[in-house]
Structure 1
Amino acid sequence: MAVFDSNGTEIYYEDIGEGPALLLLHGLTSNHAMFYREIDFFKKNYRIIAPDARGHGNSAKSDSYSLEDHIQDAVALLRHLELESVGIIGVSMGSYTAQGVAIEEPDRVKKLLLVATKSHGVQSSTAELFAKHKEELSGLNPIDKMNKASKYIFHNRRAVGKWLKKTADNSNQLTINEQEIAAQALKGFDFREQLRKVTAETLVISGRHDGLNPPEKGRETAFLIPNATFMEFKRSGHAPNVEQARLFLGIAENFLED
């Protein structure tokens, strides 16, 4: 267990393995434990840095924070560890944070792998999906609402269910109120005018069946980043790294190699 102070907020992170630094940035309401498969796979050849974003996991909770806070926490962690060169894998919310870090630290970020991403949003993708299916989801409590909406989010729901259970069994889960605060942090961000500053070699991966961040949003992100490559996983939704795990790890390994 390791923690550091980011502008008065205690941020928890895992620091595992040896080799080139690889920063793993998790999705909304999750934590570093969601990367158990990636950590086990990459720790043999990489130094894995996997933080819990503020308001998530073992990091400090507060009544409000923003995506910019997540970005500055990640930048502060890289500086705290004195990492001059790093690769980043960011999934969903983590991919937004990753974009911000790559924009702010172009000389430090060498490889950028964005999964289930978008470059801008008025509100969280979950809130947008709930609004789209408002009538169908009306009257449901938050847990039942998410369960019913999962058919629009994931393609291989069996694999995702096992992954979510294992992640939950190995980490602290957020309360409903903490989840709402986390979602509020993603309102109104837009990197479109800044992505041209990214110099990292970039790969964007989207799932064909992703109802939260559809492939067209991933394509747009890739188009805006100089020389980025876009890839669509045909049998995935919002979690390509889980729904087609072996394919993802193989592609990620190849991409991250120098």
Structure 2
Amino acid sequence: MNTLTLADGRALAYRETGHGRPLLLLHGWSLSSAAFSELLTELGREFRVIAPDLRGHGFSAAAQGCGLDDFAADLHALITAMDLDRLALGGWSLGGQVALRLAQALPERIERLLLIATTPRFVSAEDWPHGLPVGQVRSLGRNLQRAFEKTLGEFFNLLFGADEISSDRYRQILGFAVRAGRLPHPDTALGALDTLRDVDLRGELTAIGCPTLVLHGREDRIIPPGAGRFVAQAIAGARWCEMPGVGHAPFFSRPAQTLDLFREFLS
């Protein structure tokens, strides 16, 4: 792991591998950059891949703010410190929402945008059927306060559809994506969950001007594929790719197919 000391003295941890055009990858809620371990190895053959731990996740220090702008500000500091003038940006789930905010803040730097299982609004509403019931999200927060590790484990299981992966592959993923990293700081997990509950990016999508790939699993139990379709339709010229038989994390269950899509889009 590498570490950047931010202006307020906090440590922002990140993984880096490879050479060539820079690609910044942002992980999802409650996990860390360890989730991208396999992608780092493979994509590092062609790109300079940088995968930070969002604040309060993995090896990055926690801070009070857990809004999209807070996460994006840390990443802006990383991009500036690494002198990344032009880069591709990829985000998964919560990381996709942060990527959308960062792409708006730095349109002159983001050349391509890759959104994996990303939604503009995490919870459902009268005019938004593509989210989880707000009561379910609030229940998740209460369960985190009562039994933190157990609740995170149950959420991790939701990443996969029925019979999507073998038990051996599940144990392999658990090893490199969870056990090789660190659990999030409890306050950060709860604060970021509040952000997911409250944020609505639907009105901001038309501001995205760079080439965009939106990738979603058809069997996603956390973010329905209708949310991804909405994103792809709202961003001018975006490419939509829906993977059958796949849940919330295509790069876990279909790594070769996902890598092929990434390489084609980024080339």
User: TM above 0.5, one fold?
Assistant: yes
Partner of 1:217: 227
Q: What do residues 21-71 of structure 1 show as CA deviations (whole Å, max 9, x unaligned)? A: 000100111111111110000111111111110011111113542221111
* 216-225 vs 168-177, which moves further: 168-177
- What does 1:1-258 align with in structure 2 at a 5 Å threshold? 1-5=2-6, 8-122=9-123, 128=134, 130=136, 141-145=147-151, 153-155=159-161, 156-157=164-165, 158=167, 159-174=169-184, 176-257=186-267
Contact (CA 8 Å) 2:28, 2:93: kept in 1 or not?
Answer: yes
Could you tell me how far 1:253 is from its partner in structure 2?
0.8
**Of 1-10 and 142-151, the range deviating more from structure 2:** 142-151
**Which amino acid letter does the alignment assign opposite residue 117 of structure 2?**
A
In structure 2, give the amino acid aligned to 1:130: Q
Distance 2:4 2:160 in 1: 33
Deviation, structure 1 residue 118: 0.3
Output the CA distance in 2 between the equivalents of 1:236 and 1:132.
26
Q: Give the C-alpha shift of residue 244 in structure 1.
A: 1.2
Distance 2:82 2:69 in 1: 20
Residue pair 1:29, 1:56 contacting (<8 A) in 2 also:
yes
Whether contact under 8 Å (2:31, 2:58) holds in the other structure is yes
Amino acid in structure 2 at the alignment position of 1:243: S
- Over 3 Å counting, the alpha-carbon distance change for 1:9 and 1:147 in structure 2 is closer
CA 147–129 in structure 1, closer or farther in 2 if over 3 Å, else same: farther
* 1:235–1:244 contact (8 Å) kept in structure 2: no
Alpha-carbon distance in 1 for matches of 2:192, 2:133:
12
Counterpart code for 2:196: L
Distance 1:152 1:35, change over 3 A: closer
Between the two proteins, what is the percent identity of the paired residues?
A: 28
Which amino acid counterpart does residue 102 of structure 1 have in structure 2? A
Alpha-carbon distance change, 192 to 254 in structure 1, aligned in 2, over 3 angstroms? same
The residue aligned with 2:128 is none
What is the DSSP-based 3-state SS (H/G/I as helix, E as strand, rest coil) of the residue aligned with 2:197?
A: coil
Q: CA deviation at 1:82?
A: 1.5
Q: Do 2:123 and 2:133's aligned partners in 1 also have CA atoms closer than 8 Å?
A: no
**Cα distance, 1:201 vs. partner?**
0.8
TM-superposition CA deviations, 1:110-147 (whole Å, max 9, x none): 11110011012359x7785835999xx9xx94555555
Contact 1:91 1:114 survives alignment (8 Å): yes
What CA distance in whole angstroms lies between the structure 1 residues aligned with 2:88 and 2:120?
19
Give the 3-state SS of the residue equivalent to 1:120 in structure 2: coil
Q: What is the one-letter code of the residue matched to 1:15?
A: E
Between the two proteins, the alignment pairs up a number of residues equal to: 252
**3-state SS in 1 of match to 2:258:** helix
Is the contact made by 1:26 and 1:34 (CA closer than 8 Å) also made in structure 2?
Answer: yes
Deviations, residues 222-241 of structure 1 (Å, cap 9, x unaligned): 11111001111101111111
Deviation at 1:5? 0.5
1:155-185 residue CA offsets vs partner (Å, 9 max, x unmatched)? 2254444312222232222355553233234
> In structure 1, what is the Cα distance between the partners aligned to 2:134 and 2:53?
24
Task: Mark the CA change 1:90 to 1:173 in structure 2 (over 3 Å): closer, same or farther.
Answer: same
